[in-house]
Structure 1
């Protein structure tokens, strides 16, 4: 299995149209939260917030996977169903053929920030 040193190296493995979506997602995540630390976790691009794992994403042939954790999925299950996104206990899939749902991604990131803040106190 190939290991990656950083998110840039990971993104470069994909066709340009997937790279563009991965870069757009990365930018959207950073624009929502100051001070995120990037790393590779479970062979995927990942972010730490205040030293703790925050959110992961990954590119695939037909979708972009976002991994906000079980609580993140539960909180947005209704949205995923309404928009007909495939999801599981810990991940949601955004089709490559569609624009990223930046409004929903923004809500997911804000939920993750609130979750992290609550755990801190």
Structure 2
């Protein structure tokens, strides 16, 4: 994928089969983080609050990655496992055909938001 400058460009450059899930994830994160600024860093779209990237997403060759601040992943480790997903310290990867449940995306985004200093 070429260097991207915004979320729309990133989604448009992703493989066609990934575009619907990327658009959906973007919408969920926008709803969960209304005060966040959309931005890009490291060629990946994300959401920033007061200079801290609290959520981001990416398309890979066979999966999608969803990333949050590490404490948000830790707090929701049980829910992630119950959804049949595996997590790293800061993210979850999943196949587009088996996405992260919407409510879990929202919970993770809001949890990530709580770790930003006001």
Structure-1-length-normalised TM-score: 0.86
Q: Which protein is richer in helix relative to its size? A: 1
Residue 74 of structure 1 corresponds to: 74
Matches within 5 A, 1:1-121: 2-116=2-116, 119-120=117-118
Return the structure number with greater relative CO, CA threshold 8 A, min gap 6.
2
CA RMSD of aligned residues (A): 1.7
Per-residue Cα deviation, 1:47-86 (whole angstroms, up to 9, x for no partner): 1113322211101232211110211211111112122212
Equivalenced residue count is 118
Structure-2-length-normalised TM-score: 0.88
Q: Which runs of 5+ in 1 are unaligned?
A: none
Task: Describe the shift of the 1:99–1:70 C-alpha distance in structure 2 as closer, same or farther (beyond 3 A).
Answer: closer
